[in-house]
Chains A and B, each alone.
Chain A
């Protein structure tokens, strides 16, 4: 059973390699990749179930036990993230199939998406700091390639800032990993956690923690390290943008949560407070950026940042309730954000542009598409009973409980501004009537694209309307993430047994 823990990494990596050799694009290739995506989803769901019933799956790679070898651990949080990654990747592939006729497909896109998923999955599954660095690099190299693969000559320059910031982030992460080995004598999460608790109060631990969290904040796009994101994402083709917007920054949020919950001592309250304040600034500046943009993908890209702020704010509050809110928010956000990018892509096909000046008439001619945009947009703004409401409600409640009035007000203002910028899209692209703007209903691609978007919207509605089971899972996950002693016992204890067994 434990060997299953590494399969979410192996399956996409193998599929990517096979895809490189299976160069000719065709329907058979598409079906094969879709089946691989489906297999990943099933695998991830099995892992969620096993993490809930049997506890986390622990695997020492190559039979090397935990303190010496690389450990792969899939607990509830990892399994949830793996599931979300699989859902987004599958939806993004299907959406891409609908958007692009097979004869125009770039043969590298699907293998690169698989490599990206392999890197993302490894980041979620690994329990070793250096292995996490490698996972990040696998993910980033695939993301650089995808970013520039189909960008045209005018746009490709926007990849340079993305690349530069992430390269520096990668170098800092490598430094943090080396320092961790020097400080703690191990790279295993559990080993570091155990040593860091013993060394609690040592200023070197604090300095190292700041370095590590800086790296993860770059990845997550937290203020003031976010400017690489909102200009880079709009140059992506819509299906890949949906995958990026859903998953890439959320890997950063996941490692932030993992670092605060599992790796670092829990008494670094100053660090948590700093994180919360930076999150507040991210929230408000991200949404102001969104208000300033005038095309759908640009607005949505800035919203990613603003939403990251909410999740990091919850991590910064750092109580079981707040972490549960963060987990629920991540689940909600990944689905909703991807579906919004997909809906934006449908607008782009129907109006031939997603620039707000050149897009109109959609509500009158295509009410279905209007609903596909409106529901996730309202959910993103946090209107009850949609999925965005519950996460925001819990974060605000926790803020009030801790007396952080400024942060509470900032988050509410950010929500109102989110609603405002969503209504800006709604008022022009959907509500406004402009006879000079054509609606290309004859372009049959929108049906398939809208169908995939609809699937994601239904999922997000299900999360919002049937929130109770998701909330239970979020609370279980929060308890598990914050149970540092249990984690150490699980990994190093399990390692002891593995050593004893012949």
Chain B
């Protein structure tokens, strides 16, 4: 005889959308689509004995309910147990010690803002991660000097995006990655398709060549299942904070300090304003607190805690809380417009 209670593993969290739901598996980094009726059984009747659940539905759906739950057991989302009280839920509070967790600095060939000045300020705030986007094709020397800036700094991750140039060889870039272990990823954009190397020619995992043209900040803000992130950090942060902008600071290609380089509002120029002062401003932190639960349409979407938000390009520029403009998903119909899938 089967045990009395069904329990979801605490890392498998049901999220209700308008027309269907997901179970987000924060441990195995995946999700499962489920019907809303199953969401109801898992949440409203959580902790109730199987027999009680059957009775709630007047014993009309005993077999269906059992089949659903057996499916979840088979997929290892949950288990039957005699002691559900021993398995508390996951606390979904997001914890992070850093006042700024992520910095984004943009450059094009006309940029004048000096990186060392920026890095020094971020270092004082113990910012652990930085992303540098070169919309143009910088020389090897520029890339080297850039990475040199991070020697003896507390940054744990440096990511770079740079434009393609035939003068940058795979060998040179590989050597660069070996010399600077902080470099976690290097993406070379605008690569002519005939020059994209076979993956077997690249010996390190963090070097990628892509055809896509990332020559301005407008390349950002895309919403697609490709960018879904299903893990504990992301999911807990998205409960109360903006999944793109929280504790982020950006310096755009002209040196203006912003939440995101694609946004128009700025909080001063890097030459005259200190990053630490900007980070403390309530006006600057406002965007950090726009969670998906506040965004129209997104709040009804079953993907809202695994999807990156975008506040720079919104569907209705008159409404700061409207959904990301580049999202093609309709949670009311549970359909994707074909264009962005792939």
Q: Do A and B bind each other?
A: no
Measured CB to CB, the residues of B under 8 A from A are none
Give A residues with C-beta under 8 Å from B.
none
